[in-house]
């Protein structure tokens, strides 16, 4: 039998425990598929005595993940602690310096330090694999780096945070507002310790930045991702969008334009009958568009023990088989900084506002839109029982700068009751 591939696992939360279970329960299958046994030498976590529902007695314990990363009996350092800096980064750097390959699920660390870590790994002749960092069990990294390597990617788009998709779809299904569904998601354990990572779009933005780097051959630039969360989406927006044939999703979009790389993570309207529009609950979906394949849709569980541990093990198996690939699909030294687009590609927009119910109110809004060069495609005014009238407008394609100019003027009107809402309508 060939020499075993020996793992050192740092982080024994949901995902780390799932990896241990797979290695223990599927030892014969893994060995047959990899051509060599997959074993665990040592583990590390913050709390040693916690009952994790899996036997850890066969493995050495290290309190310090850096010490784990340096062990002579570890071939692959599996980093599942999380966090953009601190122990995760220190241990990953130590593993590379000690000549170990790295498998990680840490999107935040790679979004902030991915290029530097990739350079270090490749200079040391090591690999960093991170399928589990993006979209859980969906093999989107493999799709981009391997299956679609012969394509010029034109656009990457998707729903990459299951918590946000859960909240938005539950708002539509139950008629409950954002706050109630936020509390429900929290009780179910769907939210990060810092909920803003989820609902603020940061978690999904990390993932989009990683996919952008692979898709467009540029250095990871999380700071270039325009972020907007779902906190301001109301039940009225959900219902009005549905009335017009749309669903609201926290949607990530990355595309290379003549103005530079466009990366944005924001609530958007998508056609209700599109694959993205039909996506329910905590499921993720990534849409990849290339010049040879046109459009590919990948759908699956975006989080959880089984799906994420599955992605970790896919990377471990590639290393066991001797498959070596640059971190972001091409040598890190060839990745250049990409100029960031100063504005988003023109699109149609959904506008919602409440106007005082008096003559000429709507005409004033239409005038300001027209002066900004924005034409109206559709408009709807809802019945009302108070002194304000809910109005919906769908524009023809316009750029965001023109829209912001119009909205600035609209906010100054003496007929506006409350803050107007503007959401992009994405072509799918």
pTM, whole model, 2 decimals? 0.94
pLDDT given at position 380: 87
Higher model confidence: residue 33 or residue 186? 33
Q: What is the pLDDT of residues 231-260, one digit of tens each?
A: 999 999 999 999 889 999 999 999 999 889
Task: Please enumerate in sequence order all residues whose Cβ is within 8 A of that of 17, keeping only pairs 6 or more positions apart, or say none.
Answer: 52, 53, 54, 305
CB distance 395 to 351 below 8 Å: yes
Q: Environment class of residue 84 by beta-carbon count within 10 Å: exposed (0-12), middle (13-18) or buried (19+)?
A: middle
User: Partners of 388 in the beta sheet?
Assistant: 356
Phi then psi for residue 181, to 5 deg, are: -75, -30
384 pLDDT band, cuts 50/70/90, is low
pLDDT given at position 389: 81
User: How many other C-beta atoms can be found within 10 angstroms of the C-beta atom of residue 155?
Assistant: 17
For residues 107 and 162, what is the distance between their CA atoms, to the nearest angstrom?
15
Stretch 47-74: mean pLDDT: 94
Stretch 149-156: mean pLDDT: 97
Q: What is the pLDDT of residues 328-377, one digit of tens each?
A: 999 999 999 988 887 889 999 999 998 888 888 889 999 999 999 999 99
Secondary structure class of 208 (helix, strand, coil)? helix
Among the listed residues 70, 100, 207, 249, the single catalytic one is 207
Is 207 in the active site? yes
402 pLDDT band, cuts 50/70/90, is very high
Task: Please enumerate in sequence order all residues whose Cβ is within 8 A of that of 294, keeping only pairs 6 or more positions apart, or say none.
Answer: none
Q: What is the pLDDT of residues 97-142, one digit of tens each?
A: 999 999 999 999 999 999 999 999 999 999 999 999 999 899 999 9
């Amino acid at each position: 039998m060939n020499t075993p591939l020996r793992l050192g696992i740092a982080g024994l939360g949901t995902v780390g425990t799932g990896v241990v279970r797979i290695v223990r329960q599927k030892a014969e299958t893994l060995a047959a598929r990899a051509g060599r046994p997959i074993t665990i030498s040592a583990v590390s976590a913050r709390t040693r005595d916690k009952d994790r529902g899996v036997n850890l007695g066969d493995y050495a314990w290290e309190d310090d993940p850096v010490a784990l990363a340096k062990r002579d009996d570890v071939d692959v350092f599996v980093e599942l602690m999380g966090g953009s800096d601190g122990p995760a980064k220190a241990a990953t750097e130590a593993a590379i310096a000690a000549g170990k390959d790295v498998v990680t699920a840490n999107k935040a660390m790679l979004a902030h330090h991915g290029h530097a870590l990739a350079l270090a790994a490749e200079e040391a002749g090591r690999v960093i694999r991170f399928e589990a960092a993006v979209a859980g069990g969906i093999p989107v990294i493999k799709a981009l780096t391997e299956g679609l390597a012969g394509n010029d990617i034109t656009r990457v788009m998707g729903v990459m945070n299951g918590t946000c998709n859960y909240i938005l779809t539950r708002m539509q299904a139950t008629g409950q507002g954002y706050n109630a569904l936020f509390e429900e998601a929290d009780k179910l354990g769907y939210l990060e310790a810092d909920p803003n990572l989820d609902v603020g779009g940061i978690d999904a933005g990390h993932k989009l930045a990683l996919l952008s780097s692979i898709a467009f051959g540029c250095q990871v630039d999380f700071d270039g991702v325009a972020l907007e969360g779902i906190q301001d989406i109301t039940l009225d927006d959900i219902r009005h969008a549905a009335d017009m044939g749309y669903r609201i999703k926290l949607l990530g979009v990355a595309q290379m334009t003549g103005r530079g790389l466009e990366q944005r993570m924001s609530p958007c309207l998508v056609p209700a009958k599109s694959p993205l529009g039909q996506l329910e609950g905590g499921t993720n979906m990534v849409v990849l568009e290339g010049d040879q394949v046109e459009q590919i849709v990948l759908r699956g569980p975006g989080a959880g023990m089984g799906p994420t541990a599955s992605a970790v093990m896919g990377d471990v198996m590639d290393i066991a088989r001797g498959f070596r690939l640059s971190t972001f699909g091409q040598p890190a030294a060839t990745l250049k900084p990409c100029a960031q687009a100063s504005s988003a590609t023109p699109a149609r927009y959904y506008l919602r506002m409440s106007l005082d119910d008096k003559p000429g109110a709507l005409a004033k809004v239409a005038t300001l839109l027209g002066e900004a060069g924005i034409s109206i495609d559709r408009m709807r005014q809802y019945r009302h029982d108070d002194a304000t009238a809910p109005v919906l407008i769908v524009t023809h394609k316009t750029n965001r700068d023109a829209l912001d100019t119009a909205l600035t003027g609209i906010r100054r009107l003496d007929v506006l009751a409350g803050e107007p809402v503007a959401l992009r309508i994405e072509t799918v």
